[in-house]
Amino acid sequence: MVEPETFAFLSDLAQNNKKAWLDAHRVERDDAMRNFTGIAMTLHDYADRFDHNIADVRLKPRQSYTKFFQEPRERVGAGLYRIGIDVFANAGDAAEDFGYYLHIEPGKCHAGAGLFQPSKMALARLRTRLVDDPDGLADVLGEADFKGMFPDSLVSRKEVGVVPDGFEENGPAAPYLKMLGLGCRHDLSDDQLMDDDVMDELVEVFRAASPLVRHFT
């Protein structure tokens, strides 16, 4: 699945997050990108075991993982380049549509489902869905399989301090309306992702997450 050399490259990039260093290590970067492409293809090949909508979509492997360079408005941390890459299994665009993902970062790997860096329009649609059917979301979050796999329930990579204008401050959706994108995550070790049989575990993670994907699509 994830090659040891990919983890080594990401670890080195974390210590040398500069253009000059990356330019000098293009071979390792390209090898990592080939690994991500292969992972995207594998996730698609297994998709009929967790979501037929994903399996029926034509795969675009090179558009199925985040790129190293961080655009200024999306930047996380001070580095110019991402040291953690998301590989997606989506029925649409990862910035527009809810879907499944595998996050690859040394010591911080996880998998689940979400829409973590939505476009402005996608964030508006997400918030509308949160307000329109809070009971439906509560049912998803209360399912035994979901709670067992994702004990932290819904998480976000960025939040605001107050509920956006136009929404109820004390409504049932209020905690989630503060999230600038959201999803669920199940932590995985680096060793697990280097195991050839890890797809069986990832399928179980994605199956548990599938009701959340259906709720938002």
**Average pLDDT estimate for 87-100:** 92
Q: What is the mean pLDDT of residues 137-156?
A: 97
Is residue 27 pLDDT above 80, yes or no?
yes
Residue 73 CA to residue 162 CA, distance in Å, equals: 20
Q: Which domain holds residue 57?
A: 4-215
pTM of the entire predicted model: 0.93
Q: Which of 70, 118, 128, 132 is nearest to 90 (CA)?
A: 118
User: What confidence category does residue 91 fall into, taking pLDDT thresholds of 50, 70 and 90?
Assistant: confident
Average pLDDT, the chain: 93
d(CA 160, CA 144): 29
Question: Which tokens hold the place of 52?
Answer: 């037929």
Tell me how far apart the alpha carbons of residues 121 and 68 are, in angstroms, rounded to a whole number.
Answer: 24
What integer pLDDT is reported at residue 61 of this predicted model?
A: 78
pLDDT of 37 reads 95
- 2 backbone dihedrals φ, ψ, rounded to 5°: -85, 125
* pLDDT reported for residue 73: 61
Helices (H), 110-173: 120-132, 134-142, 144-149
For 56-86, the pLDDT digits (tens) are 988 887 789 998 887 656 666 667 888 999 9
Mean pLDDT, rounded, for 157-163: 91
**The pair of three-digit structure tokens given for residue 81, joined into one six-digit string:** 């380049």
- What whole-number distance in Å separates Cα of residue 194 and Cα of residue 204? 17
Q: What is the mean pLDDT of residues 140-164?
A: 95
The structural domain count of the chain equals 1
To the nearest whole percent, how much of the chain has pLDDT over 90?
82
In the block, residue with structure tokens 């796999």 = 149
Tokens encoding 12 = 């080195």
Q: Which residues pair with 109 in a beta bridge?
A: 188
What angle, rounded to 10 degrees, do the helices at 198-215 and 134-142 form? 160
